[in-house]
């Protein structure tokens, strides 16, 4: 029996999208760092500490209406209400897995939709965040890519995913980890990602925030110059150029021969490592010989490998299958023997299509995949 869909508030027909001749949407304060908010509100506030009151109300107390900020005067609340908005998304559906994982479908102000996944694990909790409303990279193993690209999320829409999930947990950021592994390629939305991280890292340590990329070289170079950087994860998924290009078209633009030297120069804290995510596809990249090639490829890098047995979906085709558990473990053991740190990601939320690579864009025509010569 499929898991139930939790009913939520209905989505109104009028989503506030301006028609010709209408005013532009109000400025969303959720996507503004403290200093930019202070500049924007300079003409409205009477005392500088009002900025802290507004900022804390939004990001620590989770208000969704300026009228709830009772430390402000009525006139100031009315001015904020008139000129600005708090851009929390509308929850269209919520599915809960048998293992406690929750997947949200959020509808944004213009009707675009994204999925966000909340994964509890004892006293820890991980939010898997989206950075785009879809993904244009068309990785062969990813359902999101099958459904095609969508627009970049604003910094406020990125932050709002965290705030919406926090409102359902009295512990707030206690034990909270953030991973940008949802819909979209984060480094193709670099400016908004950076602004969102500037806001989020005020409350969550950079050690508990991970940005995963398919290897966008200009984005990685830009990250290297940030004064505060989150953890970096690379979607690798093949031990050589040819096979990576078959399942990840982006490798043709940013090949491993250029990506790996850049990663060797990436600044890391003491004992910090770069995570290499490696989806295991049966009879394609899961042999012990492939583990040897992978170990050789990553030799000399401060690397740890996170193995991910493929989470299949009918749209990907019958040939996209997960290896047997014993083969996954044999691959991991081979990496350990070759001196690499290696773990296997525990499957979470697969019964509600919330596992890695399963997030999709509803109500959109699929673009499909061009069949490649995968060696099965």
Q: Which residues are CB-neighbours of 56 under 8 A, at least 6 positions away?
A: none
**Gyration radius (Cα) of the chain, Å:** 22
Confirm whether 356 is a catalytic residue.
Answer: yes
Confirm whether 142 is a catalytic residue.
Answer: no
Structure tokens at 274: 């770069």
**Which strands make up the sheet holding 341-344, listed edge to edge?**
5-6, 90-96, 102-107, 113-121, 124-128, 176-180, 209-213, 231-235, 274-280, 303-309, 341-344
Catalytic residue among 19, 22, 115, 185: 115
Rounded distance between C-alpha atoms, residue 354 and residue 336, angstroms:
29
* Residue 375, helix vs strand vs coil: coil
The gap from C-alpha 252 to its chain's centroid, in whole angstroms, comes to: 23
Catalytic residue among 319, 324, 356, 365: 356
- From residue 351, how far is each of 35, 339, 359 by CA, in Å? 43, 34, 12
Q: Give the DSSP H/E element, type plus range, for residue 368.
A: none
Which of these, 364, 366, 349, 365, lies nearest to 104 by C-alpha position? 349
Q: Which residues are catalytic?
A: 115, 356
């Amino acid at each position: 029996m499929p898991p139930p869909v939790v009913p939520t508030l209905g989505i109104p027909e009028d989503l506030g999208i301006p028609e010709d001749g209408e005013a532009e949407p109000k400025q969303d304060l959720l996507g503004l760092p403290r200093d930019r908010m202070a500049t924007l509100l300079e003409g409205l506030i009477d005392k500088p500490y009002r900025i802290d009151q507004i900022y804390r109300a939004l990001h620590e107390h989770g208000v969704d209406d300026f009228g709830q900020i009772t430390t402000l005067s009525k006139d100031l609340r009315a001015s904020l209400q008139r000129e600005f908005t708090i851009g929390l998304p509308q929850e269209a559906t919520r599915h809960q897995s048998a293992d406690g994982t929750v997947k949200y479908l959020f509808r944004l102000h213009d009707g675009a939709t994204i999925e966000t996944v909340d994964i509890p694990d004892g006293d820890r909790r991980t939010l898997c965040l989206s950075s785009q409303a879809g993904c244009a990279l068309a990785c062969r193993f990813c359902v999101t890519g099958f459904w095609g690209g969508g627009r970049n999320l604003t910094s406020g829409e990125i932050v709002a995913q965290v705030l919406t999930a926090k409102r359902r947990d009295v512990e707030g950021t206690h034990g909270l980890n953030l991973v940008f592994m949802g819909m979209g390629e984060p480094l193709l939305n670099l400016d908004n990602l950076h602004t969102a991280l500037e806001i989020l890292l005020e409350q969550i340590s950079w050690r508990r925030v991970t940005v995963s990329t398919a290897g966008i070289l200009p984005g990685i170079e830009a990250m290297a110059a940030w004064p505060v950087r989150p953890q970096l994860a690379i979607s690798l998924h093949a031990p050589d150029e040819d096979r990576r290009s078959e399942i990840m078209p982006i490798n043709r633009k940013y090949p491993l021969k250029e990506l790996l030297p850049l990663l060797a120069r990436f600044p890391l804290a003491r004992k910090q490592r770069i995570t290499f995510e490696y989806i295991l596809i049966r009879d394609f990249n899961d042999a012990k010989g492939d583990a040897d090639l992978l170990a050789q490829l990553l030799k000399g890098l401060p690397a740890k490998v996170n193995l991910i047995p493929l989470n299949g979906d009918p749209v990907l085709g019958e040939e996209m299958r997960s290896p047997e558990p014993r083969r996954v473990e044999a691959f991991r053991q081979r990496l350990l023997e070759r001196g690499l740190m290696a773990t296997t990601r525990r499957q979470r939320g697969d019964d509600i299509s919330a596992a890695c690579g399963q997030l999709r864009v509803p109500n959109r025509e699929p673009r499909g995949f061009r069949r490649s010569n995968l060696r099965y």
